[in-house]
Structure 1
Amino acid sequence: MKLRKLAQQMANCRQCLERSGALITQAEHSLKENDHARFLQTARNVAERVAMATASSQVLIPDVNLNEAFDNFALDFSREKKILEGLDYLTAPSPPSIRDELCTASHDTITVHWTSEDEFSVTSYELQYTIYTGQTNFISLYNSVDSWMIVPNIKQNHYTVHGLQSGTRYVFFVKAINQAGSRNSEPARLKTNSQPFKLDPKTAHKKLRLSNDCLTMEKDESSLKKSHTPERFSSTGSYGAAGNVFIDSGCHYWEVLLGASTWYAVGVAYKSAPKNEWSGKNSSSWVLSRCNNNFMVRHNGKEMLVEASHQLRRLGVLLDYDNNSLSFYDAMNSQHLHTFEVSFLLPVAPTFMIWNKSVMILSGLPVPDFSRRPTRAWTGLLTGLG
């Protein structure tokens, strides 16, 4: 029985020596490694195996006493373990985290901010972004390499991307990099603001007064003193002005402060729309208008009544050019008023008409969350109301 136990322990010792030989061979190969990152990784593997061998060394101490004829068998790796524990192991940095609340945007830029737990071990960051198409499977989206823009070798924890499309959502990843590898952040969806614009004085009716900043237009009320009815039905009654931009892509939102005006029309129009005609009376313009106590939407001479509060003071306009829609909102009450479904063929300009008082334009705004709610769209022909 003692001989069998001793034979078993000798077999265990032989097996341990063989593993030690393999471990020494691996260590010798690692010493010849020139790549710093691969050397540290190999050294780490050796250290783990040494730790395992040291932990199991008690198995090699014989429990058979043959008249104290044998010494205890044990492999002592304590010196090597101490040396290996002194190495500064380099690992891939932890994934950075994009701070949505710190990110800012204009109509053509987005500044991305992020944080990293391993800031001092990060050699550089890499920013990757693409237009968000609504795809929720970010793994598939990330694998679509051709659609991604890459900004390498960023040394700070923020970066401003220029030249983006107005009113467009983007997906961003940040990659933290060092010699041992890299890791990506979770995706972040950020969007640019709408295209800012002002009123174009060259398009303004001669009886309209524009403010110096071209954001407010006021109707000359002297012509209304002669008649209680605005000249909205005459060929010269198109008291309007257009924005100084033509939009052909993206999602854009602006608001109109209506003040005390009760006769107005707000919408969009092609450049080819007749200048001396009431907006919405042709196929080149789409508007929501108020005629005293009646609210209506109008296009190509067709009109349809819309329910809206007589206290409406902020009219929101959402132009989603890429998705072929033009929507109107009571911005103060987050209430949807109407949506046109339009297959736009040409660039459109914001258009504004008033027959009394004044209105003020607020442009370059971010698309509000309430505009993402489902809306009922105008898909049929309108019935003329006379």
Structure 2
Amino acid sequence: KPQPHFCFSDLPTGQQALDSNLSNLIKRNNELETLMGKLIQTCQHVEVNASRQENKLMEECDLLIDIIQQRRQIIATKIKEGKVVRLRKLAQQIANCKQCIERSSSLITQADQTLKETDHARFLQTAKSISERVSMATASSQVLIPEINLTDTFDTFALDFTREKKMLESLDYLTAPNPPGIREELCTASYDTITVHWTSDDEFSVVSYELQYAIFTGQANVVSLCNSADSWMIVPNIKQNHYTVHGLQSGTKYIFIVKAINQAGSRSSEPGTLKTNSQPFKLDPKSAHRKLKISHDNLTVERDETSSKKSHTQDRFVSQGSYGVLGNVYIDSGRHYWEALIGGSTWYAVGIAYKSAPKHEWVGKNACSWVLCRCNSSWVVRHNGKELPIEPSPHLRRIGVLLDYDAGSLAFYDAVSSQHLYTFDVAFAQPVCPVFNIWNKCLTVLTGLPIPDHLESAELQD
């Protein structure tokens, strides 16, 4: 017989493949054993819980039977007492009637005999007495009549347990309510509040809701956050399907979970993410340079060029100082976003400054202010007299400003294209105020805005 041919070079490879497959099989076998163990444990839990529920069912039914028997005894006693009271009154009335009838019958007989008397003298002797007695008897019987009540026959009550029967027929074991759903499209926010709305399919079986919330730090951390009870703020015992949370950080995204609760247990909604808006503010007319005009709604600043010549050089602008106006808030915490709409201006500055920054000095020329500037065709960011050129779109008309005071950052964006322009890293030592400078035309501020989603995503990635 020919001998089998072995290729020794294939032996290690085949051995490695077998070893790998064997490892996978052992791993899968171990996983199945673990799963089977959990299934067996679940079966044991089912047995224990079912026995517990069966015992509880017997206890609850025995309680219902006891209550029914007690009520039957109480109602039966009331019926007996009502019957006794009515029969006693009726018996007394019957006795009164009988007594009156007996007296009346005797008087009728005597009166009848008197009327048959043929002796006129004897008739006159007895007629007067008999007549008085008949009148008195008639009056006493008339007094007795109002006491008689022939309508109280004990038929003006009902034993109708239809509703209770339906309730008993609907008896069933109670299950935990279905998970509620957060309606993000109905939720609203301000700079420090969020009103959460939700719906529930089992609204009538829900005893109360519980709202849980925490700061959202990224989708990857949602699972770990959900498993950590210490990270959540909890609002218990909510009876409506909405709730307003106060005292939140401005410009911050939060994760919310709603739990529906009844006697059988609870189920939680899928997590929902909502965010607060930025701190709203307006321009402060009192802080404006005398050559600037502030609109009636305090949202637009315009350079008053009525008394100035059309041609100005940069030196003349420098000598005239900074035509600026401040926002009417000072910020010392949180995250805030606002936008400046450029109304045809080619010479302006947008940024922030400390309260201690010199009045009407060029912003960015000192250590107390940070700004993005345009000087005709030149674009720079400036702080403490140092300028760094930037290259935004030449048609930049809307500047987004993102201030994260706690993290120490001030970022500028093209709000239309989402282009990142520059970020200052600052260890803020004082409260800061939005500042706007303009040397020609006008600009308008948009405040109280939520931080755009694309900026949130960019920050999380950074």
- After TM superposition, the score normalised by the length of structure 2 is 0.61
Kindly name which structure, 1 or 2, has the bigger radius of gyration based on alpha carbons: 2
Structure 1, unmatched stretches of 5+, are 1-22, 37-83, 376-386
Q: How far apart are 1:302 and its partner, in Å?
A: 0.4
Q: How far apart are 1:227 and its partner, in Å?
A: 4.2
Q: Which of the pair has the greater relative contact order for Cα pairs under 8 Å at 6+ separation?
A: 1
Equivalence for 2:331: 247
Cα shift readout 1:198-254 (whole Å, capped 9, x = no counterpart): 0112211111111111111111114540642254322x4211011111112222111
Structure with greater proportional strand content: 1
1:198 to 282, 285, 289: 282
Distance in structure 1 (CA, Å) of the matches to 2:300 and 2:436:
11
Structure 2, unmatched stretches of 5+, are 1-49, 64-167
Distance in structure 2 (CA, Å) of the matches to 1:103 and 1:370:
20
Equivalence for 1:184: 268
Return 23-32 or 87-96, whichever deviates more: 23-32
SS at structure 2 position matched to 1:350: strand
Equivalence for 1:31: 58
Q: Is the Cα–Cα contact under 8 Å of residues 241 and 352 in structure 1 kept in the other structure?
A: yes
1:288 aligns with 2:372: yes
1:148 aligns with 2:175: no
Q: How far apart are 1:116 and its partner, in Å?
A: 1.8
Equivalence for 1:218: 302
Alignment of 1:8-27 (within 5 A): none
Q: Is the Cα–Cα contact under 8 Å of residues 232 and 278 in structure 1 kept in the other structure?
A: no
Distance in structure 2 (CA, Å) of the matches to 1:229 and 1:24:
93
Equivalence for 2:212: 128
- Shift of the 146–337 alpha-carbon distance from structure 1 to 2, 3 Å rule, reads same
Cα shift readout 1:308-331 (whole Å, capped 9, x = no counterpart): 223211111111222221111111
Return 168-177 or 114-123, whichever deviates more: 114-123
Distance in structure 2 (CA, Å) of the matches to 1:312 and 1:155:
50
1:319 to 383, 387, 403: 403
Distance in structure 1 (CA, Å) of the matches to 2:415 and 2:179:
39
1:272 to 350, 356, 364: 356
Q: Could you say what the CA RMSD is over the residues aligned between the two structures, in angstroms?
A: 2.7
Alignment of 1:7-156 (within 5 A): 30-32=57-59, 87-134=171-218, 136-142=220-226, 144-156=228-240
Distance in structure 2 (CA, Å) of the matches to 1:180 and 1:195:
43
Identical aligned pairs, as a percentage?
A: 69
Task: Name the amino acid aligned to 1:217.
Answer: V
Q: Is the Cα–Cα contact under 8 Å of residues 280 and 287 in structure 1 kept in the other structure?
A: yes
Q: How far apart are 1:117 and its partner, in Å?
A: 2.3
Equivalence for 1:207: 291
Task: Name the amino acid aligned to 1:102.
Answer: L
Cα shift readout 1:260-291 (whole Å, capped 9, x = no counterpart): 10000000111111113100011111100000
Q: Is the Cα–Cα contact under 8 Å of residues 289 and 360 in structure 2 kept in the other structure?
A: no
Count the aligned residue pairs. 305
- Shift of the 338–373 alpha-carbon distance from structure 1 to 2, 3 Å rule, reads farther
Alignment of 1:347-386 (within 5 A): 347-372=431-456, 374=458
Distance in structure 2 (CA, Å) of the matches to 1:101 and 1:136:
24
Cα shift readout 1:90-118 (whole Å, capped 9, x = no counterpart): 00111112122222211121111112222
Distance in structure 2 (CA, Å) of the matches to 1:106 and 1:306:
34
